[in-house]
Structure 1
Amino acid sequence: MKQHGALQVRGLATGYRERQIIQGLDLPDLRAGEVHSLVGPNAAGKSTLMRALAGLQPARGSVRLGGEELVGLPLAEHARRVTYMPQTLPQGVALSVLESVLGALQASSTGHPGGDSHAAAQRRAVAVLERVGILRLAMEGLDHLSGGQRQLVSLAQALVREPHVLLLDEPISALDLQHQLRVMRLVQELARERGMIAIMVLHDLQIAARWSDGIVMLAQGAVVSTGAPAEAITPASLAQVYGVQARVEHCSGGGLQIMVDDVL
């Protein structure tokens, strides 16, 4: 397993024009091989935080990966280390699934220059499509795919780059339950295998608790609770962040069971 060092976020501030969404945010150290989920209500700042970590919008503070400062790096250099999967693929792209994954690989430093031949790049792209479970769609046009299929293609585009840090913004929102669990298992497996840090925005707290090493619960651009799922997801944090009265219990399989009784 490759080791790329921890991701350390300290005093991060970011927003849009005159509006600060996140101010002075700290995260616990996120370590290689781990999966972490950002949870919280709409407009909590989750997607804004992800875009700042990806270098896609200006930020102040410190984001260090293995001791290297990422804030202020040119976008191309930043993208060599951190790959971001947005909520949806762009519309109107006249490419096949395989071509889109090859394009993602070739746009990254792991593909060109100085590395894979075209044949080797194709093998990598095919291997990722097979791992994600969509090899049968390789020659389909992106504009002919369902929303869930497009989401899986977007995941393949991110994974083929083999980033140090993988940022997934709602990667399972358009998927049925079986494919949700497949994606979560795949991300966990690849994080362990590659020594990759995976950070996901999720709305389903049960899934986040089951598949994450750590939870970061956000509200109004600030961290409310963080830690292992059982430490971060509590009746008190659910009341504060979501405004609900809830019970959090351990099920027979060892995971968390979250039962919402009422709205506060």
Structure 2
Amino acid sequence: MSQINTEQGLVISGLSTGYRKRNIIQHISLPPLEAGGVYSLIGPNAAGKSTLMRALAGLQSAKGSVSLNGFELIGKPLADWARRVTYMPQTLPQGVSLNVLESVVSALRASPMEGDLSSQDIKQYAVSVLERVGIVDLALRNLGHLSGGQRQLVSLAQVLARNPKVLLLDEPISALDLKHQFRVMRLVQELARERSMIVLVVLHDLSVAARWSDGIMMLAKGAVVATGSPAEAITPATLGQVYGVQARVGHCEQGHMQVMIDDEL
């Protein structure tokens, strides 16, 4: 990851957070995350990835520093976070009786767009987001009648509609088939570039993370083990240390990184 002015981008320094007086994340510091970049947070189960994401969204208390373009977020009201950072959890809430279009419109009203927009303008914008995500055909379907993968795509549309400066995605492709995994990751990268967003995404598929990410952050037991480009962070040594596997890292004919697991350690 390239070096940038710490007054720009998202800068995380000395961050600690957890539950019931037990720290899960302890004094984490990361290289600055640049606008327009896609960064993947990887690591085994219980590494602290989702806990870190919630702290970066302002949804749980944390100590240390989270600064966006020089504006310190730690200690600020949730409204200050919400204007800048949008978080997509692993699953949508259950029991919501809205259709897909209504849910995206509701997300927009919760984080108003610039300008004095009419209800029709908001609805048209919501439809355009559904088209971009590729699910406009689901617009009138009730959320409760969708598959897990469809609900995941709707959740993505909701957060993209809010056009945040920082987009946090917690396992956004876990319920998707291969085609839709590819579509979502390509879309996320395109929008990061177009809108100068900072995107931080939790992924388990290391080859997917390597292909679509400008930078990788590998966590284990609440601590940062490796950061850098995919080639710098995802190595046989770090995979052995963090995941406990004997692995090889190679590249396909098109140059994309591939991770092959040979055995446990």
TM-score range, shorter chain: over 0.9
Cα deviation code 1:32-67 (max 9, x no counterpart):
000000000000000000000000000000000000
Pairing 1:167–2:173 present: no
* CA distances 1:170-213 after superposition (whole Å, capped 9, x unpaired): 00000001000000000000000000000000000010000111
Q: Which runs of 5+ in 1 are unaligned?
A: none
| Match of residue 141 from structure 1 | 142
Q: What is the root-mean-square deviation in Å for CA atoms of aligned residues?
A: 1.1
Answering whether residue 120 of structure 2 is matched by residue 119 of structure 1, we say yes
Paired with 1:106 and 1:120, the residues of 2 have a C-alpha distance of: 12
Runs of 4+ in 1 over 2 A off after TM superposition: none
1:243 aligns with 2:226: no
Describe the SS at the equivalent of 1:236. helix
How far is 1:227 from its partner? Answer: 0.5
Q: Match of 2:83?
A: 80
Structure 1 residue 250, shift from structure 2 partner:
2.5
Q: Indicate the SS of the match to 1:89.
A: coil
CA distance in 1, matches of 2:85, 2:250: 35
* Alignment of structure 1 residues 103-252 onto 2, 5 Å: 103-110=106-113, 115-252=116-253
Distance in 1 (CA, whole Å) between partners of 2:52 and 2:195 is 24
Equivalence for 1:7? 10
Q: Which residue number in structure 2 is paired with residue 47 of structure 1?
A: 50
Secondary structure (helix, strand or coil) at the match of 1:71 reads: coil
Q: Which residue of 2 aligns with 1:254?
A: 255
Mapped contact 1:212–1:229 kept (Cα < 8 A): yes
Residue 64 of structure 2, aligned match among 61, 66, 75: 61
The alpha carbon displacement at 1:121 in A equals: 0.6
Cα offsets for 1:89-132 (capped at 9, x unmatched): 01110001000000000000326xx5321111111100100000
Distance in 1 (CA, whole Å) between partners of 2:218 and 2:118 is: 43
With normalisation by structure 2, the TM-score equals 0.96
Q: Distance in 1 between matches of 2:138 and 2:252?
A: 38
1:31 and 2:50 equivalent?
no
What CA distance in whole angstroms lies between the structure 1 residues aligned with 2:182 and 2:38?
14
Aligned to 1:263: 264
Number of equivalent positions: 259
1:215–1:228 CA contact under 8 A, matched in 2: yes
**In the alignment, is residue 93 of structure 1 matched against residue 57 of structure 2?**
no
Question: Does the 8 Å contact 1:80/1:109 carry over to 2?
Answer: no
- Gaps of at least 5 residues in structure 2 are 1-6
1:252: how far off? 2.1
TM-score (norm 1): 0.96
Deviation at 1:260, TM superposition (A): 0.7
Letter in 2 for 1:143: G
Secondary structure of 1:43's aligned partner = coil
Equivalent residue of 1:64, what SS?
strand
- How far off its partner does 1:5 sit? 3.4
Counterpart secondary structure, 2:158: helix
